[in-house]
């Protein structure tokens, strides 16, 4: 079972072996709810996960909400938190293509200080957006 001991063990291993902890949570909700899921509740993900991921389906507010938690003045881990945007998927019939992918890249460029990259099927460096 996941507990505070699990978190402490993961953090200890992370420091000892110099690796980052990635919580593959795929946040996908309105800003206020995402903030509560990320920073509150039983899991308190923001306290131990260096990297999380989110989909852009709710719009750019989801990045704003997560970034607000990670950059709050009283948050001690701000320099060690980041986001991967779910920009593409390989599943048949996926809607994470075209304009959705372009928006994902645009938001990543807007939030360069918090967004680390993408979950995608290819490099997105050459995707043309209005926010270059």
Burial of 50: CB neighbours in 10 Å, binned 0-12, 13-18, 19+: middle
For the chain, residues with pLDDT lower than 50 are none
Q: Report the pLDDT value the prediction gives residue 25, as an integer from 0 to 100.
A: 92
Q: Which of 24, 74, 99, 132 is catalytic?
A: 24
d(CA 132, CA 24): 28
Question: Is 128 in the active site?
Answer: no
Domains present along the chain, CATH in parentheses: 20-119 (3.20.20.70)
CA pair distance 95, 102, nearest whole angstrom: 12
Beta strand 22-27 pairing with 51-55: parallel
Q: What does the pLDDT look like over 48-58, one tens digit per residue?
A: 999 999 999 99
Mark whether 74 is an active-site residue: no
- Which pLDDT value is given to residue 1? 84
What's the whole-model pTM score?
0.91
> pLDDT digits over 31-67, tens only?
999 999 999 988 999 999 999 999 999 999 999 999 9
Beta strand 22-27 with 115-119 is unpaired
Catalytic annotation present for 126: no
Extract the annotated binding site for substrate. 90
According to the model, what pLDDT value does residue 42 have?
84
């Amino acid at each position: 079972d996941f507990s505070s001991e699990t978190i402490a063990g993961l953090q200890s291993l992370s420091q000892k072996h110099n690796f980052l902890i990635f919580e593959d949570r795929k946040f996908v909700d309105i800003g206020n709810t995402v903030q509560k899921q990320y920073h509150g509740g039983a899991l308190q993900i923001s306290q131990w996960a260096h990297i999380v991921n989110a989909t852009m389906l709710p719009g750019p507010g989801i990045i704003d909400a997560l970034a607000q938690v990670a950059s709050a003045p009283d948050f001690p881990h701000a320099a060690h938190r980041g986001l991967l945007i779910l920009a593409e998927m390989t599943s048949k019939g996926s809607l994470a293509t075209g304009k959705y992918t372009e928006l994902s890249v645009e938001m990543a460029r807007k939030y360069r200080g918090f967004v680390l990259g993408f979950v995608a099927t290819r490099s997105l460096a050459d995707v043309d957006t209005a926010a270059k």
